[in-house]
Amino acid sequence: MPKGSAINRALAAAVGVGAAGAAAVIAARAYRAGAAPPVGDHGAAPHPGAIGAEYAHAAAEQLSELITFRTVFSSFRDRIELEQFTGFIEALERLYPSVHATLGRELVNGHALLFKWSGTRADAGAKPTVLMAHYDVVPVDSRDDWTHPGFSGHQDGEFVWGRGALDDKGALVVIMAAIESLIKEGFRPAHDLYLSFGNNEETAGDSAQAAVDLLTRRGVQPWLVLDEGGAVALDAFPGLDAPAAVIGVAEKGILDLEILTRSAGGHASTPPRMGSTSRLAQAIMALEETPFPASMPEPIAEMLRRIGTHSGFAMRLVTANMWAFKPLVTQVLGLVGDETRALTRTTVAVTMLEGSKASNVLAATARANVNIRIAAGESVDSVVDAVREIIDDPRVQLTVRSGHNPSPISAFDNEQFALLSRAVAASYPQAVVTPYIQTGATDSRFFTAICPAVYRFSPLLMDAGDRASLHAVNEKVRISSLGAGVVFYRELLAGLA
């Protein structure tokens, strides 16, 4: 027998044994994942009846009124209805009298709010917590067909309708309602608690940075920061019937990049080849046809593992063995839908176009704004370099209009994340609690400079339609979810005692 043939057969046998062994390991891991205790079971005390029912109606009434204030911020000061912001702040004083009688409050950067609830311990400032929300909203287009007017705060017995119901007045209301109820019961936190409510988050304003600067000057180093971001999501993941409480442990960076092209212009009756608009279109199509490569940061891998424990065996077979299937799963997520695709890569969206001002005039310049959400591991500089390489045309000018890098990734195996998980278990006991990476920007990104444990989560139930209504038509929130949200924050604050 030739020596080479014997070696080949020995290798083949070894590979076969190894493959069989690997298959056995994969199956065993999938079986154990299914037998694991529910990841939503974090030791919170059971809550009787419909969770938060005793708080839901009052919270809905409060939110309905607060939605009627048109708190739309603008970079153009003469377009801001300042009386709407002032009226909102005055309404908070009336709706939450115990909060305003007990907590200190100051205005930051004009109309942002910073509250402080002093803790009872001698070292109360050693582990402060910051709860965040913003009360500014995006505009309502009068041409859009809302079922109920966007600033009506209409209630139909099931939902509160209007701009800000989900983003982000609903979260502000359940924070305030929880603290109001706890004060009336005689509760006081052991450690200092801050509430930071922004007034210009939707325009990427500077109020959150002003709040961070103020806290820094006072030597405040938060133990935990919680802002908007993730939610209790229904129908977000194939094969998962339970809601997923997705807690953002980081957020993608944002880059607004202007693409500019130039040509001679002139009369539209004698168009040149590859004028400014054609060159711009070519650049845009290059970006459309060449997406950024997909990757899977560790929080997304952990999210899939946790979701898999509540899915069928076939799903667990994959998610319990990410060491083997990670490349395949990364590609599949890019095909499932827009939400999952955004989790795995830097995304590019053309949001503004400008060319000729007349139908028979060639554009001398054409420009587009490209809004890019930068994935973990990338940076503003690396993305600009990649865009330049993809377009591959030296006559296309790129200008960074604004941008910031992705935030650091907060831990999801620490005491802070465990506390958030217990609060979810108390308010949404069927939910699968999981980390994820926030695809949108929040004010909390500024707080990463003074706190290593920054999270993004609103305890409000949202299905696919609800999530689609953010910044769109028919934004609304479930009244029952407002009650559960109050329970979430009560449990969270009790855990800080």
Alpha helical stretches, state H, 36-158: 53-67, 82-95, 97-102
Catalytic residue ranges: 136, 201
Output the six-digit token pair for 166.
């989900």
Give CA–CA dist 355/72, Å, rounded. Answer: 29
Location of structure tokens 């500014």: 136
SS3 content of the chain, % helix, strand, coil (to 5): 40, 20, 35
For 218, the 3-state DSSP assignment is: coil
Q: How many residues make up the chain in this entry?
A: 497
Residues 6 or more apart whose Cβ sits within 8 Å of residue 48: none
DSSP classification of residue 47: -
List the end-to-end C-alpha distance of the chain, in Å, as a whole number.
77
Nearest 5°: the CA angle 253, 255, 259 is: 160
Q: Bridge partners of 256?
A: 371, 402
Supply φ then ψ for residue 420, to 5 degrees: -60, -40
Which residues, other chains included, contact 366 with Cβ-Cβ below 8 Å and sequence gap of 6+?
Answer: 260, 261, 276, 277, 279, 280, 353, 354, 355, 356
Query: What is d(CA 200, CA 198) in angstroms, rounded to the nearest whole number?
Result: 6
Helix segments in 290-366, DSSP class H: 298-308, 313-319, 322-336, 338-343
The residues near 425 (Cβ < 8 Å, ≥ 6 apart) are 40, 41, 42, 43, 44, 431, 433
CA 446 vs. chain centroid, Å, equals 14
- Residue 345: what residue type? R
* Chain position carrying tokens 């690396």: 382
Task: Give all strands of the β-sheet with 397-404 in edge-to-edge order.
Answer: 347-354, 365-374, 253-262, 397-404
Give the count of alpha carbons within 13 A of 190, CB side only: 8
Q: 435 has which bridge partners?
A: 247
